[in-house]
Amino acid sequence: MSAAPLVGYSSSGSEDESEDGMRTRPGDGSQRSGQSPLPRQRFPVPDSVLNMFPGTEEGPEDDSAKHGGRVRTFPHERGNWATHVYIPYEAKEEFLDLLDVLLPHAQTYVPRLVRMEAFHLSLSQSVVLRHHWILPFVQALKARVASFQRCQKPPEVA
Write out pLDDT tens, residues 113-149. 889 889 999 999 888 899 889 999 999 999 998 888 8
For residue 13, pLDDT beyond 60: no
Q: Which residues, 6+ apart, have CB-to-CB distance to 57 below 8 Å?
A: none
Stronger pLDDT, 28 or 135, i.e. the higher one: 135
Instruction: Compute the mean pLDDT over every residue in the chain, rounded to the nearest whole number.
Output: 76
pLDDT at position 16 is 47
Q: Where are the beta strands (DSSP E) in 2-157?
A: 80-83, 86-89, 119-122, 127-130
pTM, two decimal places = 0.48
Judged against a pLDDT cut of 60, whether residue 87 lies above it is answered with yes
Q: How far is CA 136 from CA 22, 61, 145, in A?
A: 65, 30, 14
Rounded CA-CA distance 33/4 in Å is 9
| Residue 91 · residue 125 · CB < 8 Å | no
Q: Which of 59-63, 107-111, 120-124 has the lowest mean pLDDT?
A: 59-63
